[in-house]
């Protein structure tokens, strides 16, 4: 962007409130921001996109409750349209598609040399039993498009999984596809998250594993006020940060978080989730020495 011009940013969002602080920070920095709800945005295939110095994709890969499920696929189409017209997009179509696919994330983790649970992609709940027998029990079944732990189930025996399939209890989410994933037991009962901004770590957190679900949203962990789920800041090792950088580059993602646990068997990090909709937790500015939202705005202006 030209240093003397007022930057113009087109900001794609899905949830009506989750991005208020970020938008407010941009406007305070004199950025001309057009907030675009992807559920209502209309575009013509033969037209050029609206004029903007930069487009920002802040669409969650798992639509929030009450929002159209088709927003995930619609965002993929919109991002492809922008890229065909050579628009600069923060978290473009490749990063978005990876965020929408647990199976693709698992593949990329393995491709860049990161330890990850053995996973088998399935197209229907009836395929889950054969997949679980290939990986070995216990297993998790996960919707391919999912977030905040929604739809995840754990099965320790084939009889339990068979009963769940017969009862229609295996939830494969909005697009009806999913994966069966080997259970990795945690060495220390902690789930770790590295938040990335560009080629660098923004910050990293630790959060106790849940005993009654699979929701490790950092924002939920701070808002709920449950001391047992409190999020704390950590300093991960150099090797883990390097792996996160490699993944982000391979994912063509500028912003996002990567989650892992410490495998009780190997003692190594086992990576299981990539979220291009990065969470900006609040309340740690003093410990960090900076405000994550302001650091993100700096990145947008760079």
- Confidence label for 148 from pLDDT (cuts 50, 70 and 90): low
Three-state DSSP at 75 gives helix
Q: Which residues contact 53 (CB under 8 A, 6 or more apart)?
A: 1, 7, 8, 9, 88
Domain coordinates in residue numbering, the chain: 8-98, 100-115+185-301, 119-182
Q: Average pLDDT, stretch 247-259?
A: 96
Task: State whether residue 139 is helix, strand or coil.
Answer: strand
pLDDT tier at 61, thresholds 50, 70, 90 = confident
Select the highest-mean-pLDDT range: 18-32, 155-169, 204-218: 155-169
Predicted confidence (pLDDT) at residue 185 exceeds the cutoff of 50? yes
Collapsing DSSP to helix, strand or coil, 78 comes out as helix
Q: Which CATH number fits domain 8-98: 3.40.50.2300, 3.40.50.280, 3.40.50.20, 3.40.50.150?
A: 3.40.50.20
Tell me the Cα Rg of the chain.
20
Compute the average pLDDT of residues 210-218.
Answer: 57
Q: For residue 122, what are the β-bridge partners?
A: 178
Asked if 198 and 229 touch (Cβ cutoff 8 Å), the reply is no
Percent helix, strand, coil in the chain (nearest 5)? 30, 25, 45
pLDDT given for residue 219 in this prediction: 46
By CB atoms closer than 10 A (0-12, 13-18, 19+), residue 296 is: buried
Residue 225 has what pLDDT? 43
**Cα–Cα distance between 219 and 209 in angstroms, integer?**
15
In sequence order, the β-bridge partners of residue 178 are: 122, 143
Q: Using 50, 70 and 90 to split pLDDT, how confident is the model at 65?
A: low
Q: Is CATH 3.20.20.140 correct for 119-182?
A: no
pLDDT at 254 over 70: yes
CB 86 within 8 A of CB 42: no
Q: What is the pLDDT of residue 19?
A: 86
**Mean pLDDT in residue range 251-276:** 95
Angle between helices 20-28 and 292-301 (to 10 degrees): 60
Output the pLDDT for position 64: 56
What pLDDT is recorded for position 222?
40
Cβ atoms 245, 198 nearer than 8 A: no
| Phi and psi angles of residue 93, each rounded to the nearest 5 degrees, phi first | -65, -35
Is the distance from CB of 274 to CB of 301 less than 8 angstroms?
A: no
Report residue 66's pLDDT band, with 50, 70 and 90 as the boundaries.
Answer: low
- Can 8-98 and 119-182 be said to share one CATH topology? no
CATH class of 100-115+185-301: alpha beta
Segment among 88-92, 194-198, 221-225, 281-285 with least mean pLDDT: 221-225
Q: In the structure, what pLDDT confidence band is assigned to residue 250 with cuts at 50, 70 and 90?
A: very high
Q: How much is the pTM?
A: 0.89
């Amino acid at each position: 962007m030209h240093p003397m011009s007022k930057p113009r940013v087109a900001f794609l969002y899905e949830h009506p409130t989750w991005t208020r602080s970020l938008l407010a920070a941009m406007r305070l920095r004199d950025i001309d921001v057009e907030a675009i709800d992807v559920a209502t945005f209309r575009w013509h295939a033969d037209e050029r996109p609206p004029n903007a110095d930069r487009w920002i994709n802040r669409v969650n890969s798992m639509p929030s409750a009450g929002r159209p499920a088709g927003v995930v696929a619609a965002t993929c189409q919109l991002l492809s349209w922008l890229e065909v017209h050579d628009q600069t997009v923060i978290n473009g179509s490749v990063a978005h598609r990876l965020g929408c696919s647990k199976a693709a994330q698992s593949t990329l983790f393995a491709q860049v040399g990161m330890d990850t649970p053995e996973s088998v992609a399935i197209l229907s709940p009836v395929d889950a039993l054969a997949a679980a027998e290939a990986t070995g029990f216990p297993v998790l079944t996960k919707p391919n498009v999912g977030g905040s732990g929604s739809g995840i189930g754990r099965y320790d025996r084939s009889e339990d999984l068979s009963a769940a399939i017969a009862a229609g209890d295996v939830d494969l989410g909005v697009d009806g596809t999913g994966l069966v994933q080997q259970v990795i037991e945690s060495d220390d009962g902690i789930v770790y998250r590295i938040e990335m901004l560009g080629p660098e770590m923004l910050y990293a957190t630790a959060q106790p594993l849940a005993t009654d679900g699979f929701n490790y949203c950092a924002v939920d962990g701070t808002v709920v006020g449950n001391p047992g789920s409190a999020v704390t800041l950590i300093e991960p090792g150099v090797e883990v940060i390097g792996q996160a950088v490699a993944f982000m580059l391979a994912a063509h993602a500028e912003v996002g978080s990567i989650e892992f646990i410490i495998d009780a068997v190997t003692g190594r990090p086992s990576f299981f989730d990539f979220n291009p909709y990065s969470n900006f937790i609040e309340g740690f500015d003093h410990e960090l020495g900076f405000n994550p939202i302001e650091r993100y705005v700096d990145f947008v202006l760079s």
